[in-house]
């Protein structure tokens, strides 16, 4: 992805623990960018093999690729920015371009919010409640797969 940075006005290395947007650069290439600016202003270079947590994945892409609204993927740098890929579920390669310009966010690393879609639908999480799985369990907020049927 860093070849696209040669044409960007600004570029930076993608940082662990930071959320980026997935957009289209001035040259029509899919690229990660800081959320506060467009891919036309600044591109974040992602190293090959970096784990990303995608969020806000549209329903159409969820169905097409068998993922949820939040998914962990691996970035695959093909050496050609137009052909950079995301590895889904350990094997399926999908072009990064399919995720660009759709409001999807890419957190660099494994997001602590990854399991949020596994909670019971009736559970609401207030800002003051813990966001980690362990913290939720300690406060009695139990994901469906861990809940015991009585």
Q: What is the pLDDT of residues 117-150, one digit of tens each?
A: 433 333 334 444 545 555 555 555 555 454 455 5
Q: Which residue(s) pair with 32 in the sheet?
A: 22, 44
Q: Report the predicted TM-score, pTM, of the whole model to 2 decimal places.
A: 0.69
**pLDDT value of position 115:** 47
For the chain, the helix, strand and coil percentages under 3-state DSSP, each to the nearest 5: 20, 30, 50
**pLDDT value of position 78:** 85
**pLDDT value of position 133:** 55
Of 114, 145, 95, nearest to 87 by C-alpha is 95
Give the residue extent of every domain in the chain.
2-108, 116-146
With a cut of 70, list the residues of the chain below it in pLDDT.
1-9, 81-82, 90, 112-150
């Amino acid at each position: 992805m860093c070849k696209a940075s040669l044409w960007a006005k600004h570029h930076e290395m993608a940082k662990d623990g930071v959320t980026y947007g997935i957009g289209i650069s001035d040259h029509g290439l899919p690229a990660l960018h800081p959320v506060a600016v467009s891919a036309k202003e600044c591109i974040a270079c992602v190293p090959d093999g970096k784990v990303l947590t995608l969020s806000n994945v549209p329903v159409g892409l969820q169905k097409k690729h068998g993922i949820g609204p939040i998914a962990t993927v691996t970035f695959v740098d093909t050496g050609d920015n137009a052909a950079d890929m995301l590895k889904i579920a350990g094997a399926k390669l999908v072009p990064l371009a399919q995720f660009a310009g759709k409001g999807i966010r890419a957190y660099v690393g494994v997001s602590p919010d990854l399991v949020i879609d596994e909670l019971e639908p009736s559970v609401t999480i207030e800002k003051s409640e813990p966001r980690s799985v362990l913290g939720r369990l300690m406060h009695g907020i139990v994901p469906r797969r861990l809940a015991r049927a009585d």
